[in-house]
Amino acid sequence: MTRPPTTLHQDATHESALGHVTGHARYVDDLPHPPGLLHGVIVRSPVARGTLLGVDVEDAVRLPGVVRVLTASDVPGDNHVGPIVHDEPVLADGELWWNGQPVALVLGTTREAARRGAEAVSVRHEPLTPVLTMEEAERRDQWLITPHVIRRGDVDAALASAHLVIQGEVHTPGQDHFYLETHASLAVPGEAGTMDLASSTQHPTEIQRMVAHVLGIPDAAVTCRVPRMGGGFGGKESQATTPACLAALGAWLTQRPVKVWLERGEDMRITGKRHPFRGRYRAGFDAEGRLLGFDAEVVADGGATVDLTGPIVDRALFHLDNAYVLPACRLVGKAVRTNLPSNTAFRGFGGPQGVAVIEDAMERAAFQLGLDPVEIRRRNYYADTAGRDITPYGQQVRDVRIERMTETLLATSDLAAWRAEVAAFNATSAHTKRGIGFVPVKFGISFTNSLLNQAGALLLVYADGSVQLNHGGTEMGQGLHTKMIAVCAEVLGVRPSDVRVMATSTEKVPNTSATAASSGSDLNGQAVREACEAVKARMVPVACELLGAERVRFAGGRCVDADRPDHAVAFSKVASDCWVRQISLSSTGFYRTPGIAYDRPGGQGTPFFYYAYGAALAEVEVSAWTGEYRIRRADLLHDVGDSLVPSIDRGQVEGAFVQGVGWLTTEDVLYGPDGACVTRGPSTYKIPAVGDVPADLRVNLERSPQAGTIGGSKAVGEPPFLLGFSVVHALRAAVAAFGTREPELALPATPEAVLFAIDRQRA
Amino acid sequence: MAVSFTVDGQVVRVEGLHPTTTLLRWLRESGRVGTKEGCAEGDCGACTVVVAHDGRWRAVNSCLIPLPSLHGRAVLTVEGLARGDRAHPVQEAMVEALGSQCGYCTPGFVMTLFEGAHRTDLDQPWKLDDQLCGNLCRCTGYRPIRDALQQVAGTCPDDGLAAPATDEDALREDGEGGAWFAPTRVSEATAWLAEHPEARVIAGATDLGLDITQKHARFASLLSVDRLAELRGIEVAAGMATIGAATTLVELEDWSAEGLPVLHRMLRFFGARQIKHRATIGGNLCNASPIGDLAPVVLALGGAMELVSASGARTVSADDFFVAYRRTALQPGELLARVRLPIPPAATKLGAYKVSRRRELDISAVSAAFQVRVAEDAVTEARLAYGGMAATPIRARAAEALLVGRPWTEETVRAAADSLRESFQPLTDHRASAEYRHRVARNLLLGFFAETREQPFIALPDRPTATVQEVG
């Protein structure tokens, strides 16, 4: 029944689908408990800011089942971790920085015992006044990173000459990752001062490095394995480190296995979210709606520590142009430190927050100039023509697809007829109105820290012809393993069912980058191909000899004489003959993305290997009684290149779109006056449910090959997230239909925000 | 304490059990890790299993079920569907539709699909959504899962997994962790309550379960009413519906579709299938939350509560039942036995509304139910009840007074609606601001008026199947 990938560029089901639906797929918390397992429960800071005076553990250790309570002084190595700057204490030391910060770890023989122990630990502290808003942090000059500035031309002159200058301020909200599987790590002490971990992480190498750092041992003494994740979305890129380090610390000190698994409420209180951003801009347009100048500053709320805030602000800056040429611009990115959980990577990684700013300008300009919102955008698109193909940071944009894709979307959606239907409805409906919104997307692909664009693979062919494939990427549901099987099966010409992808492990592929930045299949796919080609090259002479052939093809589980297609020998026979002839059947593969580099101080360079494009139209219906709304229809067209596995990419496009809609509509991260996250479960934090999906969802893929990538494919994880803006633009259009003035709609556009916007419109 | 029940066809006996151990905890600790924990608050559905009840498998949240509730009953989990190497048709449908990405929510969806495959009444697109809305997925965007359900709904596959008959015997255990009594007769229940006035009454545990999983609460004694057949079912006679307090919301929904449509309307966006299989009308009312969605309907209909105790019975009108924030007129030793709802005459104007951030499986910002009767061009009776506007579910008496005796016109209704702002001092919390609640409370009454004038209020669009196309 399962359709594994047959060959590249064909539909396939997820390689683990049967395991998912039968419950046999194992996640970290499902692994069998090793003998002597202890459970670790985190004691959290009760205040957002304070001085830590001491941790009283006596009451806890007296409780039955409590084995030990760990605090910062128990750390043998360096207590400070972090993906870029080591500024985050594993356990609080001296100061308390956010409400929910780990202060101690209670180890118990059962989770219940450890939890009761944690309740009995007293965190002695002196509270200080926390900084909970971006504005207050700015007043206090609490800057988290060096500002990033990108300039082109004379923006002030451009604005002075403009027919229309729009001044705006855009607040984009935070977002909880709400992966269905919360953070989990299992640490098992090994022989002779070693530590083995299983972790739900997008970045096993970082876990390995940080655990070694905290324990004060070499990286080689630590292994980290990732069976699979129940969702990541960026939330397990840097922030799996704390639970993993805590589990490892407990295991190191007790020499017993330790599991740290977070309940949903703990996960949401301890971990950071998508960065809220505030963007302020001045945008100058000519009378035809062409952008002349764009002066924008974005400020991110980084929370308590640096984490990945720097590159997130960078990516926001790189996406302030979205798909539009900015003839003159000044783009500034900053971040502040607040006493909130440290915000972190989340699908889009600052890109959506940047795009939000210029899309606000486009929406307002279209309204104020009386232009069609689609048309004004098209007038500003990048194009493969001189003068329209250079980004503000100096990168040449090649193979620009956005105009072509917009034309396709307008045709397949029959936008003119669609708009007529909406107008007819609105003409006769007083209390509910409909609106159509449009958004184009251009998204840069590559880690903007260029050195991270490297990947490795390790292929093992056994003498019976079966194959184990290892690569540095992690599987979090995005179908990376399915694609890697397709690449491997294509090169070796074997059945996909003969290829087994192994759990990602630092003992198979070293020094990996996070599975992030949509880069998983781009980078690992090339490394897998190279490993497969290397082994295949050694098998070819043996196959030629067995067949008496000059040239052979590997296909269908056989090696075929290229000149006499009826002459063939089984792949397994060639493999066993290689073994007999003492020929290696294993190889690594390695890839680094060529030709990219960025000079951050100078604000110039080529940070991206290429761009992925998308375009979306959405229709909503809103109620003026309650502000409630429904998404009636959405038409998505997304650029996936010559997709490795189109069915997987469709799943990414649809899922990312819905997640983007959730960010902009019903999801609202809220903190109390004490800095504690109050939306800490699905009862209070509302990700989209089945009824929030468009009733009529039409998804198309743009599949022209991309030059220089694995199989001509394009990265797909993040870019379609931004298609969710079409729904916000549709809501604005529907709100606008209640009156004549320019709509003002706050984000997230909850029913409350929509009702208030309608009431302003009707006032 | 010790209980025995059937899991995936195998009889198990669990000894030394704490009464607040949930089914999910026990499943995972006994090695049945296919069933996942996503939230432990009944809001994500990752832990969904099915429990046999009245001859059918019912999807429920295993995270909220105290294990003693299952004594004598049968549970089927995601690990019990496949036959050897052959996946169940609903599992095959999920695979083929690419309904799983990360796979963590998938076991729960599979069990919701399993129930759906054996339901023959999923004949409307919105009913498919209703079946699925208790399960959250963060990866797929739901379209493929909805396709999978559409494919299997009502197919009643011959899977050899018929729901077995269950044993509804009483269970009485006094263990280290507290007492659990699940009697089969009301007289036993009231006698026990008289001896244990501190006991918490538990039905489906969809709210008490949160105290267990989120606040880690423990209880000295729990009285489970889920085996009291006398408290289940609905009788209609002489214009009065008498509803047993332990009647589940699914049973109420099935009956009210024709029996009392205004109630059905409220139940449409009330919890999820998994919750409604366990939650009861009595639980929702005795909980007395200001945002319990049945209370406004019961208030608007002029309902009454039949309370029983070891010393007798009494009836309290709904108006007198909700006395303070999460407090009712129930005295120690008393049990809510039945709810009486007068069925309004045909010409009565009735409305029920729930407004929340998310349409499905969300807690109300504001809910409301209205009953207005008009005779000879004047309103003769008006009952306007709100949730979310005060510490208790509450009637808007000042607004009612502005309607009675006046004509049912926009002018009158507007005056009544405008008066609501003076009557209520709602909270600002994470669900809504006080200002939003004020505006919605007013608008719901105006919208109700519009509806009685046959203007559409808010459309609930049908949901055509999504399509996936490719461009050349």
Q: Do B38 and A679 touch (CB under 8 A)?
A: no
Say which residues have a Cβ less than 8 Å from residue B242's Cβ, sequence separation at least 6: B234, B235, B236, B306, B338, B339, B340
Task: Report the alpha-carbon distance of residue B164 to residue B55 in Å, rounded.
Answer: 7
Tokens of A279: 């963007």
A625 in B contact zone (CB under 8 Å):
yes
Partner residue facing B466 (CB), from A228, A666, A696 = A696
Which chain B positions have a beta carbon within 8 Å of A3's beta carbon? 96
The rounded percent of chain B whose pLDDT value lies above 70 is 96
* Residue B351: inside a domain: no
Q: What is the mean pLDDT of chain A?
A: 97
Say which residues have a Cβ less than 8 Å from residue B416's Cβ, sequence separation at least 6: B382, B384, B396, B399, B400, B402, B403, B445
One domain for residues A147 and A260: no
Strands (E), B113-249: 171-175, 178-182, 200-202, 221-224, 234-237, 240-244
A592, A620, A643 — which closes off a domain? A592
One domain for residues A210 and A242: yes
How much is the pLDDT for B472? 35
Task: Report the alpha-carbon distance of residue B372 to residue B395 in Å, rounded.
Answer: 13
pLDDT tens for each residue of A640-677? 999 999 999 999 999 999 999 999 999 999 999 999 99
Q: Do A180 and B38 touch (CB under 8 A)?
A: yes
The DSSP line for B321-381 is HEEETTEESPPTT-EEEEEEEEPPPTT-EEEEEEE-SSSSS---SEEEEEEEEEETTEEEE
List the single residue in B with minimal CA-CA distance to A20.
B103
One domain for residues B148 and B175: no
Amino acid identity of A644?
L
One domain for residues A751 and A622: yes
Q: What is the number of domains present in chain B?
A: 4
Active site residues per annotation of A: 718
CB pairs under 8 A between A and B: 284
Q: Do B467 and A690 touch (CB under 8 A)?
A: no
Tokens of A269: 């209180």
Looking up tokens 């659990």, which residue turns up?
B180
Partner residue facing A681 (CB), from B39, B101, B142 = B39
What SS3 state is found at B222?
strand
| pLDDT tops 80 at residue B244 | yes
One domain for residues A322 and A416: no
A592, A624, A644 — which closes off a domain? A592
Tokens of B381: 């009776």
Which chain B positions have a beta carbon within 8 Å of A678's beta carbon? 430
* Residue B354: inside a domain: no
* Residue B466: inside a domain: yes
Q: Within 13 Å, how many C-alpha atoms sit on residue B282's CB side?
A: 30
* Residue B291: inside a domain: yes
One domain for residues A524 and A617: no
Residue A605: exposure state from Cβ atoms within 10 A (0-12, 13-18, ≥19)? middle
| pLDDT tops 60 at residue B461 | no
* Residue B298: inside a domain: yes
Q: Do A752 and B470 touch (CB under 8 A)?
A: no
What SS3 state is found at A548?
coil
| pLDDT tops 90 at residue A372 | yes
One domain for residues B86 and B27: yes
Which chain A positions have a beta carbon within 8 Å of B43's beta carbon? 681-683
Partner residue facing B133 (CB), from A429, A628, A690 = A690
Residue A500 CB neighbour total at 10 angstroms: 16
State the CATH number of the domain containing residue B183: 3.30.43.10
Amino acid identity of B345?
P
Burial call B343-369: b when 16+ CB within 10 Å, e when fewer? bbeeeebbbbbbbbbbbbbbbbbbbbb
One domain for residues A414 and A479: no
* Residue A645: inside a domain: yes
* Residue B132: inside a domain: yes
Which chain B positions have a beta carbon within 8 Å of A179's beta carbon? 102, 104, 138
Say which residues have a Cβ less than 8 Å from residue B296's Cβ, sequence separation at least 6: B266, B352, B367, B368, B369, B385, B386, B387, B393
Short-list A234, A239, A131, A229, CA closest to A180? A229
Cβ proximity of B382 and B400 under 8 Å? yes
A63 in B contact zone (CB under 8 Å):
no
Partner residue facing B463 (CB), from A14, A180, A695 = A695
CA-based radius of gyration for chain B: 23
How much is the pLDDT for B241? 98
Domain span at A108 = 31-129+177-270
One domain for residues B198 and B88: no
| B96/chain A closest Cα distance in angstroms | 7
How much is the pLDDT for B457? 53
How much is the pLDDT for B361? 87
Q: What is the number of domains present in chain A?
A: 4
One domain for residues A63 and A150: no
Domain span at B106 = 2-152
Going by the DSSP 8-state scheme, the letter that residue B67 receives in this structure is G
Tokens of A515: 């599975």
Which has the higher per-residue pLDDT, A755 or B125? A755
B229, B257, B278 — which closes off a domain? B229
pTM beyond cutoff 0.95: yes
Which has the higher per-residue pLDDT, A430 or A294? A294
Please report which confidence band the pLDDT of residue B166 belongs to, taking 50, 70 and 90 as the band edges. Answer: confident
- Those of residues 723-752 in A touching chain B at CB distance below 8 A are 750-752
One domain for residues A160 and A184: no
Mean pLDDT of A495-514: 96
Of A622-626, A668-672, B90-94, the least confident: A622-626
* CA distances (Å), origin A665, targets A223, A618, A659, A726, B187: 41, 14, 10, 12, 51
Partner residue facing A651 (CB), from B33, B144, B433 = B144
One domain for residues B404 and B424: yes
Strands (E), A253-357: 258-261, 277-285, 291-301, 328-336
One domain for residues B99 and B85: yes
Helix (H) or strand (E) holding A646: helix A646-664
B212, B229, B246 — which closes off a domain? B229
- The dihedral of CA B284, B290, B294, B296: what is its sign? positive
Please report which confidence band the pLDDT of residue A6 belongs to, taking 50, 70 and 90 as the band edges. Answer: low
- Those of residues 76-115 in A touching chain B at CB distance below 8 A are 115
pLDDT tens for each residue of A194-248? 999 999 999 999 999 999 999 999 999 999 999 999 999 999 999 999 999 999 9
Tokens of A106: 């209670």
One domain for residues B382 and B430: yes
Partner residue facing B136 (CB), from A25, A687, A703 = A687
List the single residue in B with minimal CA-CA distance to A3.
B96
B152, B183, B204 — which closes off a domain? B152
Task: Report the alpha-carbon distance of residue A696 to residue B342 in Å, rounded.
Answer: 41
How much is the pLDDT for B462? 40
List the single residue in A with minimal CA-CA distance to B80.
A22
State the CATH number of the domain containing residue B419: 3.30.390.50
Task: Report the alpha-carbon distance of residue A678 to residue A474 in Å, rounded.
Answer: 31
One domain for residues A528 and A617: no
* Residue B391: inside a domain: yes
How much is the pLDDT for B176? 78
For chain A, first and last CA: distance in Å?
59
Cβ proximity of A97 and A339 under 8 Å? yes
One domain for residues B13 and B91: yes
Task: Report the alpha-carbon distance of residue A721 to residue A357 in Å, rounded.
Answer: 16
* Residue A716: inside a domain: yes
> Is residue B132 left, alpha or beta, with left meaning phi > 0 and alpha meaning psi from -120 to 50?
alpha
Mean pLDDT of B337-353: 95
* CA distances (Å), origin A490, targets A483, A494, A644: 11, 7, 11
Looking up tokens 């966006």, which residue turns up?
B269
Cβ proximity of B363 and B431 under 8 Å? yes
Task: Report the alpha-carbon distance of residue A531 to residue A512 in Å, rounded.
Answer: 16
* Residue B357: inside a domain: no
| A28/chain B closest Cα distance in angstroms | 11
* Residue A321: inside a domain: yes
How much is the pLDDT for B103? 98
| pLDDT tops 60 at residue B469 | no
Q: Do B102 and A263 touch (CB under 8 A)?
A: no
Please report which confidence band the pLDDT of residue B453 belongs to, taking 50, 70 and 90 as the band edges. Answer: confident
* Residue A562: inside a domain: yes
How much is the pLDDT for B125? 84
A380, A412, A428 — which closes off a domain? A380
Amino acid identity of A140?
R
Burial call A451-467: b when 16+ CB within 10 Å, e when fewer? ebbbbbbbbbbbeebbb
- Angle at CA B250, nearest 5°, toward B249 and B256? 80
The DSSP line for A652-716 is HHHHHHHHHHHHHTT----B-TTS-BS--STTTS----GGGS-SEEEEEEE-PPPTTSGGGB---
* Residue A599: inside a domain: no
Query: Taking the C-alpha atoms of A107, A108, A112 and A118 in order, what is their torsion angle to the nearest 10 degrees?
Result: -40
State the CATH number of the domain containing residue A418: 3.30.365.10
One domain for residues B6 and B121: yes
Residue A296 CB neighbour total at 10 angstroms: 27
Mean pLDDT of A462-473: 98
One domain for residues B370 and B269: no
Partner residue facing B87 (CB), from A22, A682, A756 = A22
How much is the pLDDT for A695? 87
* Residue A604: inside a domain: no
Cβ proximity of B251 and B280 under 8 Å? no
Sheet with B312-317: strands ordered across: B234-237, B240-244, B335-342, B304-309, B312-317
| pLDDT tops 80 at residue B338 | yes
* Residue A544: inside a domain: yes
Three-class DSSP labels, A120-145:
HCEEEEEECCCCCCHHHHHHCCCECC
Mean pLDDT of B82-91: 95
One domain for residues B225 and B237: no
pLDDT tens for each residue of A160-196? 999 999 999 999 999 999 999 999 999 999 999 999 9
Q: Do A701 and B471 touch (CB under 8 A)?
A: yes
* Residue A740: inside a domain: yes
Residue B10 CB neighbour total at 10 angstroms: 8
Q: Do A646 and B470 touch (CB under 8 A)?
A: yes
CA-based radius of gyration for chain A: 27
Short-list A52, A33, A39, CA closest to A105? A39
Residue B159: exposure state from Cβ atoms within 10 A (0-12, 13-18, ≥19)? middle
One domain for residues A165 and A194: no
Task: Report the alpha-carbon distance of residue A489 to residue A433 in Å, rounded.
Answer: 52
Of A61-65, B123-127, B181-185, B190-194, the least confident: B123-127
Task: Report the alpha-carbon distance of residue B106 to residue B89 in Å, rounded.
Answer: 14
One domain for residues A262 and A338: no
Which chain A positions have a beta carbon within 8 Å of B214's beta carbon? 265, 681
One domain for residues A542 and A626: no
pLDDT tens for each residue of B287-317? 999 999 999 999 999 999 999 999 999 999 9
- Those of residues 646-705 in A touching chain B at CB distance below 8 A are 646-648, 650-651, 654-659, 666, 668, 670, 678-679, 681-684, 686-703
Q: Do B464 and A696 touch (CB under 8 A)?
A: yes
Q: Do B430 and A668 touch (CB under 8 A)?
A: yes
| B296/chain A closest Cα distance in angstroms | 18
Please report which confidence band the pLDDT of residue B455 belongs to, taking 50, 70 and 90 as the band edges. Answer: low
List the single residue in A with minimal CA-CA distance to B37.
A181
Task: Report the alpha-carbon distance of residue B395 to residue B373 in Å, rounded.
Answer: 16
| B197/chain A closest Cα distance in angstroms | 28
How much is the pLDDT for B451? 86
Q: Do A477 and B430 touch (CB under 8 A)?
A: no
One domain for residues B375 and B461: yes
One domain for residues B399 and B423: yes
Tokens of A668: 């609202």
Please report which confidence band the pLDDT of residue B465 belongs to, taking 50, 70 and 90 as the band edges. Answer: very low
How much is the pLDDT for A2? 44
Q: Do A628 and B101 touch (CB under 8 A)?
A: no
Task: Report the alpha-carbon distance of residue A506 to residue A225 in Å, rounded.
Answer: 7
